[in-house]
Amino acid sequence: MAVSRRGRGFFEKGVKPLVSLLSAVGITPNMLTVMGLVLTALSLVFYSWSRVDRLNLVYAALLIALGGLLDGLDGPLARLTGRQSSVGAFLDSFTDRVSDILLTVGFLLTGLVDVYLAVAMLSTSMLVSYARARGEALNVSLKEVGLGERAVRILAAIVGTLAASLLDVGLTAAAMFIVVVASITVVQRVWTTLTVLYGRERG
């Protein structure tokens, strides 16, 4: 999961004891990546059950939070154990995209979010990742560019899901926030990429 350099430093320092424990018991970075995806997938059950009892949204939020935590731990664990690899990087990126899709499906299962808004949320989230992938394929660093990195969007989804257990507008507000910050991030990354590329061509 992408976070800012400063945020990653604070996060890795805070979770170092936990990461060391995971390493000691034989947990690998790829295991954490897959477990994070599984927890996110399980949240769909509680999103759907929220039509019967809104308390299920609290459980859904907890699963999303745990899934996000595990996804955030795979990088620190890989660096601690020296298991950074292209396979792990690909798997992490791929499962992040699947998680984005699952989260959108979860929002829709509640019946509280408009289909068009959900499509906009997913589309803008995917464009954030695509803009970075294409930019970095052209050797333009975009790691620190943009307000709406995935960690921000996941946090918004968690807060919105918890809020929706009490207020109908919680998920809609979260989806709208994600669309806005993701759209801003896409513009920032496209602008940065084009600026660098134009500069190279003129230079």
CA–CA dist 67, 55 (Å, integer) = 19
| Nearest one of 118, 94, 92 to 104, comparing CA atoms | 118
- Return the residue matching tokens 């699963």: 63
What's the maximum distance between 2 C-alpha atoms anywhere in the chain?
62
Catalytic residues: 96
Q: At what angle do helices 86-109 and 29-49 cross, to 10 degrees?
A: 10
CA 101 to chain centroid, in Å, comes to 10
CA-based nearest residue to 160, from 74, 80, 57: 57
| 59 vs 40: CA distance, rounded Å | 11
Please give, one letter per residue, the 3-state secondary structure of 114-183.
CHHHHHHHHHHHHHHHHHHHHHHHCCCCCCCCCCCCHHHHHHHHHHHHHHHCCCCHHHHHHHHHHHHHHH
